[in-house]
Amino acid sequence: MGKGYWQDKRVIVTGGTGFLGAFVISKLREQGATDIFIPKSQEYDLTDHDAITHMLDEALSNGRGAENSLIIHLAANVGGIGANRDHPAEFFYDNLMMGVELMHQAWQRGIDKFVAIGTVCAYPKFTPVPFKEEDLWIGYPEETNAPYGLAKKMMLVQAQAYREQYGFNAIYLLPVNLYGPGDNFDLQTSHVIPALIRKTIESQDRGDNELAVWGDGSPTREFLYVEDAADAIVTAAEKYNGSEPVNLGSGYEISIKDLAEMIQRMTGFEGRLFWETDKPNGQPRRGMDVSRAKKYFGWQAQVQFEEGLRRTIEWFKENREIIKSKV
Residue pLDDT, tens place only, 211-234: 999 899 999 999 999 999 999 999
pLDDT higher than threshold 70 for residue 207: yes
pLDDT grade for 189, boundaries at 50, 70 and 90:
confident
Region 25-54: mean pLDDT is 96
Within a domain: 245: yes
Q: What single-letter amino acid sits at 157?
A: V
| Res 2 pLDDT > 90 | no
Whether 93 sits among the annotated catalytic residues: the reply is no
Rounded Cα–Cα distance for residues 272 and 264 (Å) = 9
**What does each C-alpha distance from 158 to 104, 169, 239 come to in angstroms?**
9, 11, 21
Is 272 among the domain residues? no
CATH number of the domain that 228 lies in?
3.40.50.720
Residue 151 in domain: yes
> CB of 45 within 8 A of CB of 51?
yes
* Residue 326: pLDDT over 80: no
What's the mean pLDDT in 30-45? 95
Q: Is residue 326 in some structural domain?
A: no
Q: Is the pLDDT of residue 159 over 70?
A: yes
* For residues 147-167, average pLDDT: 98
Domain presence at residue 308: no
Cα 131 → chain centroid: 17
Going by pLDDT thresholds of 50, 70 and 90, the confidence category of residue 268 is very high
> 3: pLDDT confidence band, cut at 50, 70 and 90?
low
Residue 95 lies in a domain: yes
Q: Is pLDDT of 81 > 80?
A: no
Per-residue pLDDT at 229: 98
Give the integer Cα–Cα distance in Å for 200 and 205. 9
Supply the pLDDT for residue 300: 98
pLDDT of residue 324: 79
Give the pLDDT band (50/70/90) at residue 280.
confident
184 falls in which pLDDT band (50, 70, 90)? Answer: very high
Task: Report, as an integer, the average pLDDT of 47-76.
Answer: 92
Judged against a pLDDT cut of 70, whether residue 63 lies above it is answered with no
Given a contact cutoff of 8 angstroms between Cβ atoms, the answer to whether 290 and 223 are in contact is no
Residues 181, 186, 215, 145: is their CA dihedral positive or negative?
A: negative
Say how far apart CA 171 and CA 242 lie, in whole Å: 6
Nearest to 18 by CA among 78, 58, 60: 78
More confidently predicted of 122 and 280: 122
Asked whether residue 208 is assigned to any structural domain, the reply reads no
DSSP label of 182? T
Provide the pairing of β-strand 210-214 with 272-276.
parallel
Residue 286: per-residue pLDDT: 87
The pLDDT of residue 80 is 73
Which of 44, 148, 162, 240 is catalytic? The answer is 148
Residue 220 host element (H or E): strand 220-225
Rounded to whole angstroms, the Cα distance separating 178 from 183 reads 9
- C-alpha–C-alpha distance, residues 64 and 62, integer Å: 5
The residue type at 120: V
| Number of domains within the chain | 1
Range of the structural domain that residue 57 is part of? 3-184+222-253+285-303
pLDDT at 84: 82
Coil vs helix vs strand at 175: strand
The number of beta carbons lying within 10 Å of the beta carbon of residue 123 is: 28
Give the DSSP letter of residue 81: H
What is the mean pLDDT of the segment spanning 257-281? Answer: 94
The phi, psi pair for 71, rounded to 5°, reads -115, 130
Find the helix packing angle between 49-59 and 88-109, rounded to 10°: 50
Binning pLDDT at 50, 70 and 90, where does residue 191 land? confident
From the list 260, 264, 262, the residue with the least C-alpha distance to 214 is: 260
Q: What is the pTM of this model?
A: 0.94
d(CA 311, CA 227): 11
Helix or strand (DSSP H, E) at 275: strand 272-276
Distances (CA, A) of 118 to 87, 152, 205, 278, 316: 19, 5, 37, 30, 27
pLDDT at position 65: 72
Strands 10-14 and 69-73 come out as: parallel
Q: Say what the pLDDT of residue 323 is.
A: 84
* pLDDT over threshold 90, residue 253: yes
Mean pLDDT for the chain overall? 94
